[in-house]
Amino acid sequence: MVVRVFIGSDHAGYELKNHLVGWLKEHGHDVVDCGPAVYDAEDDYPTFVLRAAEGVAREPDSLGIVIGGSGNGEAIAANKVRGVRAALAWSDETATLGRQHNDANVISVGARMHPVEDATRFVELFLATPFSGAERHQRRIDQLSVYEETGELPPLP
């Protein structure tokens, strides 16, 4: 499946981001590199990650990749953008389940946590895995969407 991919990182994810931009293009994806364009050890991840997440929110059929040292801050930042569901992937299973069960549209990866080969595989699995569409998963996503729009908590059982 070929898809438009928005990608952003901070300095800790800079090298992995550049690797993934090339890998994505080699695999036919339409890549939007949200930066950084140069390595700067003092840069701030929200600058680039929020741009990638906003791109995904604007284009519903697109996906996103955000990268930092651990991936935690990047997932938190991406999840601040309305309409984004960012999943932190640290294994093949979490990369797959983020799409399959949570219909995540952004994957967050910690560049300092994984070898390049593993991080690339997480991205490959994430992009290749469709949302299951199972009713229970859609119900939960819908609850989150309502909360995001209205601030209304889901009813207690």
The catalytically annotated residue of 15, 19, 59, 101 is 101
* Average pLDDT of span 50-74: 98
User: Both ends of the chain: CA-CA distance in Å?
Assistant: 39
Give residues with Cβ within 8 angstroms of 72, minimum separation 6: 88, 108, 110
pLDDT digits (tens, 9 = 90+) for 20-56: 999 999 999 999 999 999 999 999 999 999 999 999 9
- The domain total for the chain is 1
97 within some domain: yes
Residue 73 sits in a domain whose CATH number is 3.40.1400.10
The catalytically annotated residue of 11, 54, 74, 114 is 74
152 within some domain: no
Residue 2 pLDDT > 90: no
139 within some domain: no
* Average pLDDT of span 89-93: 98
Mean pLDDT of the chain: 97
* Catalytic-residue membership of 19: no
Give residues with Cβ within 8 angstroms of 112, minimum separation 6: 12, 69, 70
**pLDDT of res. 116:** 98
Query: Residues of the chain with pLDDT > 70: what percent?
Result: 100
15 within some domain: yes
* Catalytic-residue membership of 26: no
**pLDDT of res. 126:** 98
Token pair belonging to 28: 């036919």
Per the structure, the complete domain to which residue 82 belongs is given by 4-132
Check whether the bond before 36 is cis (ω within 30° of 0): yes
Residue 1 is classified by DSSP as: -
148 within some domain: no
**pLDDT of res. 142:** 97
pTM confidence score? 0.97
Amino acid (1-letter code) at residue 17: K
